[in-house]
Amino acid sequence: MLVLVTGGAGYIGSVVVRELLDNGFAVRVLDKCLFGDEGLNSVRSRIELIRGDINRFDSEWLENVSAVIHLAGLSNDPMAEFNPEANRRLNTEATAVLGEHCKSKGIKRFIFASSCSIYDKGLLAEDIIQDEESPVEPRAAYAVSKYQAELELKRLAGHDFCPTILRQGTVYGWSPRMRYDLVVNTFVKFAFEKGVLVVHNGGEMWRPLVDVSDVAKAYVACLQADISIVGNQLFNISYKNYRILELAHWVRKVFRELGVDVEIEVEYGSAKGRSYRVSTKKIERVLGFKPTVSVEDAVRIMVDKIRSGITADFSNPRYYNIQWVEILTFAEQIIRMTGSIF
């Protein structure tokens, strides 16, 4: 089976690609490669890589494709707020267009990377565990764009197009295309750099979290399942719901076990902030899928990689999505005025 992975050179995508290959799937990656394609270096000879823009989708990219895993788009709140129009085009409109292309090509299997941030009601909201049937009113631009994309896919859904929507918790862990702008990964970076983990708002915020390798396994589990079970379905993916202060303590525990003294500073102030907890009982019941990589396990892996000199340059802006996009945007503006550098 040939699987098209949009955003396959990214933080999650480069791990998903490897999981697909390990399970015998043929892989075609579609990625604009704004962050480079180094995350695919070790598997380049085993995949087909198309450097293309999801906003200008070419139906030829779907030739011989049996399933699509759609990861491409802007990835978090800072990116969405930096360019709300691009956020809407990439996360919502491009998803709808891709779904229409798949439907016209007779591609039934379509797995979409959505977000548990859709459930956010704010730190002062009632503290409840939400499942796939819970009513949602997303607030932030990123969450809104993901939810609207879900609605577009549901509009297209039927017997001839059967999307599976995976609402992912905040992802953590090591990837060949590393990021240090995700909460656990950021704590790891600060533990190395400063020996201090700063926790805002008392660390009271709840987040569902999941390791990137478990996310990749969830996508493969959906591909391997009978489409009558996963088609036109929505699933939450999370290892566990954590408070942010709890996360800091787990990270500190691992570092101290490894001989590094790390402190925690708790700041109190604004009660604003995202906070939400989710249930994963549905995917456990339907697919028997349960993530296995804890925050502690993931931190140990990241520490080992960093100590080995892999993705250890914390100052590299490519490891921070919004920083890199700001640099590229500024460079693009300069080149438009000056023309080619040489």
SS3 content of the chain, % helix, strand, coil (to 5): 45, 20, 35
- Give counts: helices (H), strands (E), the chain: 12, 14
Determine the Cα–Cα distance for residues 84 and 96; give it in Å rounded to an integer: 17
241 close to 172: Cβ distance less than 8 angstroms: no
Residue 142 annotated in active site? yes
CA atoms within 13 Å, Cβ hemisphere of 325: 16
Tokens 């609605």 correspond to 151
The 10 Å CB-count burial string (b at 16+, else e) for 239-268 is bebbbbbbbbebbbebbeeeeeebeeeeee
217 Rama sector, left if φ>0, alpha if ψ -120 to 50, beta otherwise: alpha
Determine the Cα–Cα distance for residues 194 and 44; give it in Å rounded to an integer: 36
From the list 11, 119, 142, 276, the catalytic residue is 142
CA distances, 248 to each of 45, 169, 185, 200, 225 (Å) = 40, 17, 11, 11, 36
Q: To which H or E segment does residue 248 belong? A: helix 244-257
Determine the Cα–Cα distance for residues 217 and 213; give it in Å rounded to an integer: 6
The set of catalytic residues is 142
